[in-house]
Structure 1
Amino acid sequence: MRVLLEVDDLCVNYGRIEAIRNVSFTVDEGEIVTLIGANGAGKTTTMKTVSGLRPVRLGSIRFQGKDITNMPAHDRPVLGIAQSPEGRGCFVGMSVLENLDMGAYARKDRKSPKVKEDLDRVFGLFPRLAERKSQVAGTMSGGEQQMLAIGRALMADPKLLLLDEPSMGLAPKLIQQIFDIVTEINKQGTTVLLVEQNAAQALKRAHRAYILETGEIVREGTGAELAADPAVKAAYLGGDT
């Protein structure tokens, strides 16, 4: 299996505060890899740094063997990295269709039939978006906006999809649905890097996982291994889950 993303000894600061230090991990083509940890552990900072929204103090990021450590954020979608951010970040005054079109904005093949194929794929994954394609995003429910945020990221035709807290604020039934769709996206061939506080669902879906505590990776393994680990259960899965 080919390594798609390599993060090596990454250190990122907010002012003088060290948010993450010496973080190293890899994501192979075809995997779902998850980062789990408590609030403030550095998960979202790591994700923002991979997508180019936070500057690197030390360390490196490589994508498909290319050093992208200092590459501007707006150039990374062209390479094949797209993010569905924490908080969704939908364009609330625009329609569903307009939001999805914005996801394809950086593509070099915007006029090709492939864009329509990708739109059909998004509507296949999220039938609710097809039903409401003319609806203004700001009038949709939180779950619908989460679907839209993921769909918009998929419209960039990413090789690597970054999902930051996709279950945040959602009802349990919707959480299950979102994770089922994440699994389906991966089965369709998209590699996924997932940051998630719902550790039980994340570990259930992930091929591999890393645990962050106070800005450092303290444990790694397959999703199944970490889900069965007594210390992980006690800290993140509510005991004997």
Structure 2
Amino acid sequence: MRLLVVNPNSTSSMTARIGAAARAVAAPATTIIAANPPTGPASIEGYYDEALAVPGMLAEIARHERDGGIDGTVIACFDDVGLDAARSLATGPVVGICEAAMQTAGLLAGRFAVVTTLARSVPALERLAQRYGMAGRCTIRAAGVPVLALENPASGAVDRVRDGIRRAVEQDGAECIVLGCAGMADLARTLAADTGVPVVDGVTAAVKLMEGLVALGLRTSKTGGYAPPLDKVR
């Protein structure tokens, strides 16, 4: 099984960390291909960055499907950037890490909280919670951490995320935490041990979900809104 884990931003060091987290949970027979577009926003923080990231991400998916034979694709951005377009383009199933993480958290707890990066990301994630049927079960908290600060161990970003988790448990009644950024993919087990509640990372949750879909022989339906793109002739 070959899975593409695509980071829609152009920061290759983050892609490497995402790929390592994905490989750590993948089955022995699963090959993880971690990739990012060569150009585009260095991080995705809000609607503007999302829009800029989509064309490069779709081109990366198309390239790997053409050249490498991909069985499924994981979109490794918590905004589930370009998810519907990617499902139309890809031949195999496509899973966004936000949807995977929220559905996983919903199996573990009655209420959960998403701890994300900056406040500007909160409205987009609230809309996704509504879309995925989780709005009544979760709260969204911003830790005040720029995405790229997660790349710097000296930034204090991890401490702010840990504090956000504790506040979500104490003030929001969260019984489980979802990490609201792919750049946090390597922190879940440490933060769970530190805080005493289950902590779900969307990258690893999406990989395990994708392995199940592929093993079951399931693909995205192409009979409706996810029909393949049409050729455009002027």
Same fold (TM over 0.5): no
| TM-score normalized with structure 1 length | 0.28
**Structure 1 or 2: larger helix share?**
2
TM-score, normalised to structure 2, is 0.29
Higher strand fraction (1 or 2):
1
If asked which structure has higher relative contact order (CA below 8 Å, sep 6+), I would say: 1
